[in-house]
Every structure is written in C-alpha cells, then in structure tokens.
C-alpha cells in the first residue's frame, strides 16, 4: 500500500527544518523544536506521537503560526503561515484550524455554541464578499447542521459549553472549527482529557470528517495506540526532533528506531495479555541541553560509539518500506528487508 494513494503530490502543509526556542532566565533557551520537517498532503491523516515534553504542542503552534519559528519555514497551501494574519486567526477563519485538548480553549463560556458557530459562518461569508448576515435564517440553519454533523443532539445550538459533557464539548469545538471550511485540522491531544468511551468516539469523528470532507488532519497524541487507530502515516518525535516516520503498518509491524520500538512495547496487545515486556527506562533529558550525538543514546539499548558523538539525520531505513525514514545509525546500517 502506498501512503499517498489518492493524494496529489504537492503537500498542503510543508514544515522545513523548524527551530522554536523559548527564552529562559539564566539558562540556555529551551529549544523545544531543534530542526523539524513535516509534510502533509491534502486529505491525509498524519499521527504525531511522542512522550510529554518532546515538542508536539510546540509543533502544532508553529504550524498554526502561534509560535514563531527562529529558523526554518512553515508554508500552508503555498503561503507562509506567519503571513496568514492575526485578524483572520482571531475570527476563526484560517484554512488551518486547531482543536485543543481543552475544548474551552476555543469556546466562549458566555455564549451558546450555536451563536459561536454563527459568528464564524458570518465572518466567513463576509470574507468571501457575501451579504449573508447574522439574522439570515441560512446562518442559523448552518450552525444547527454543523452541530448535527458532529453528532450532537437537536437543541445543542441553544446550549452553553458548560451544559455539555467533555466529549460533547469537544464535538462542539470541532463543529466551530468546521464552520470556517478548513483544509486542515491540527488536533493537539484532542481526546486525552476525555473518558475512555468518549476518546474513541471523538477520535473516530475526526477520522470520519477527514475522510468524508477531504480535510487533512494532524492528530497529536502521546499515545501510539490512539494514533495507530486512525492515521495513514505516523511521525515519531523525541526531544524536539523527528526520529522516525512511516506508514501506520510500517510503524507497527517493522518499527526501526529503538524509541519507536519502546513506545510500541508499551501499547497493550488486544489479546488481553497486557503490555509487552520491554518498556522505556530513564528520564527524558532537558530539551534545552540535549545529550551530544543521538539525543536518545542515554536511554537506548542499541547505542554504539558513534551514537554518543554524531547526531543521526532522517534517512531512508533499509529495513522498512519506501515511505519510511529513520534517524538512527544502527537502523540505517541494517540489512535491507527481504522483498
């Protein structure tokens, strides 16, 4: 299976070698992203995974223009994201929408969700030069339809965010994001704060919306199992870098990086025997002063001398499929997988 089947070659989102630093008092800056690349094709679902603190939210903020890049570039649909404009962002009109772990981050507690969606619809129509106003029955109808689309019961438009359950509130936030008719949604841990049943339902909703509306989706999670259930392609991050990327099949069946292998070891297997035995040990180092060489080497069971001095870059992995890349000296030296 090729990952780009059905996807045009030109990426919708292109992130090149992005560095993001946060200043710190009396210490070197926190380099939360240390040169990250990422491409997402129209309609593609990319899962971004890694332990807490590896830079996933910073990547989401860099992609949506909320965190300025110190180096590198982010372009969306051919436009640098920094140029997309504060006003369009504030009115919820970007073609690239964010869904946050906490839906309250994008919903106003003092207005009904219907009114909030109508606001985006009106701004969208105005931006297109249309005359459709707040009182136009079509505007209200679209808000009701958007809430139905995300699986909320009739009458949801008249409710305030606090009247919903966590899962319903996240659905309402997704409906608001949809109202601008985005080409892409970046969802940062969108299900991590929800209870188990709502987690699967909201993740499936995002997947279905992406498939049915052709909206590209970057789904961020610390949980490889969640990402594996919906993504076409997986990007594994460690300490501000991408260490492996491949199709979901390759990542689960032939993980190349010892870090990916460790994440996979922590995924419970469906036969009920619990998690597989090998698990990650050691502390995550400070991304502001990462270890020399490969930043994973102090925790790596396979590290050789070269790993302690030379930082590996992402290259094709001989032991994996053609869409895979890995940043690991040991994996890059493996024999090619039998055809």
Please report, as ranges, the residues that interact with ligand ADP according to CB under 6 A. Answer: 22, 30, 32, 50, 52-58, 287
Q: Are 178 and 204 in contact (CB under 8 A)?
A: no
22 binds, among ligand ADP, Mg ion, none (CB under 5 to 8 A by kind): ligand ADP
106 is an interface residue for Mg ion by CB under 5 A: no
Comparing CA positions, the residue from 59, 9, 17 lying closest to residue 35 is 17
Q: How far is the CB of 63 from ligand ADP (least distance, A)?
A: 12
Note whether 57 binds Mg ion by CB under 5 A: yes
Nearest to 92 by CA among 73, 70, 110, 115: 115
Give the CA-trace dihedral at 162, 142, 231, 216, to 10 degrees: -120
Binding-site size, Mg ion (CB under 5 A): 2
Q: Please, which residue, 58 or 64, has the CB nearer to ligand ADP?
A: 58
The smaller minimum CB distance to Mg ion, of residues 187 and 317, is found at: 187
Task: Take residue 126 and report the two structure tokens written for it.
Answer: 């105005």
Binding of residue 221 to Mg ion (CB under 5 A):
no
Q: How far is CA 72 from the centre of its chain?
A: 19
Closest approach, Cβ 223 to Mg ion, in A, equals 12
Closer CB to ligand ADP, residue 53 or residue 151? Answer: 53
Minimum CB distance to Mg ion smaller for 285 or for 318: 285
> Hey, which bits of 148-232 come out as E strands?
184-188, 216-221
Instruction: Output the smallest distance, CB 24 to ligand ADP, in A.
Output: 6
β 216-221/184-188 pair status: parallel
Q: Could you tell me the smallest distance in angstroms from the CB atom of residue 105 to Mg ion? A: 12
The token pair at 89 is 């962002």
Residue 54 site contact among Mg ion, ligand ADP, none (CB < 5 to 8 Å, cut-off depends on kind): ligand ADP
Please give the sequence-ordered ranges of beta strands (E in DSSP) within the chain, or none if there are none: 13-22, 30-40, 45-49, 71-76, 79-80, 96-99, 184-188, 216-221, 233-238, 241-247, 268-269, 274-275, 315-316, 325-326
Closer Cβ to ligand ADP, 54 or 317, answer by number? 54
Listed ranges 7-15, 48-56, 136-144, 240-248: which one lies at the site for Mg ion (CB under 5 A): 48-56
Q: Binds 171, which of Mg ion, ligand ADP, none (CB < 5 to 8 A, cut-off by type)?
A: none
What the block records as the tokens of 98 is 């964010």
Binding stretches for Mg ion (CB under 5 A): 56-57
């Amino acid at each position: 299976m090729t990952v780009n089947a059905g996807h045009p070659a030109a990426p919708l989102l292109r992130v090149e070698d992005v560095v993001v630093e946060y200043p710190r008092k009396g210490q070197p800056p926190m380099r939360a992203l240390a040169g990250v690349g990422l491409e997402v094709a129209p309609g593609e679902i990319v899962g971004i995974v890694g332990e807490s603190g590896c830079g996933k939210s910073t990547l989401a903020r860099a992609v949506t223009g909320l965190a300025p890049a110190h180096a590198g570039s982010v372009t969306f649909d051919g436009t640098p994201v920094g140029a997309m404009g504060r006003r369009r962002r504030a009115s919820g009109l970007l073609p690239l929408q964010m869904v946050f772990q906490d839906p309250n981050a994008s919903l106003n507690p003092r207005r009904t969700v219907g009114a909030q969606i109508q606001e985006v619809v009106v701004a969208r129509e105005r931006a297109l030069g249309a005359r459709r106003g707040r009182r136009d029955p079509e505007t209200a109808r679209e808000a009701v339809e958007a809430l139905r689309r995300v699986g909320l019961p009739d009458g949801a438009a008249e409710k305030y965010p606090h009247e919903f359950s966590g899962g319903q509130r996240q659905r309402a936030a997704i409906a608001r994001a949809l109202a601008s008719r985005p080409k892409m949604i970046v969802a940062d841990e969108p299900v991590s704060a929800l209870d188990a049943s709502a987690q699967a339902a909201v993740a499936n909703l995002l997947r279905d919306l992406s498939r049915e509306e052709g909206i590209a989706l970057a789904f961020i999670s610390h949980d490889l199992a969640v990402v594996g259930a919906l993504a076409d392609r997986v990007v594994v991050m460690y300490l501000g870098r991408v260490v492996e990327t491949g199709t979901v099949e390759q990542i689960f069946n032939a993980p190349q990086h010892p870090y990916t292998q460790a994440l996979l070891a922590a995924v419970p297997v469906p036969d009920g025997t619990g998690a597989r035995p090998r698990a990650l040990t050691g502390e995550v180092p400070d991304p502001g002063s990462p270890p020399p060489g490969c930043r994973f080497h102090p925790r790596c069971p396979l590290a050789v001398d070269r790993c302690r001095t030379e930082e590996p870059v992402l290259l094709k992995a001989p032991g994996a499929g053609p869409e895979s890349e890995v940043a690991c000296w040991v994996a890059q030296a493996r024999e090619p997988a039998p055809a």
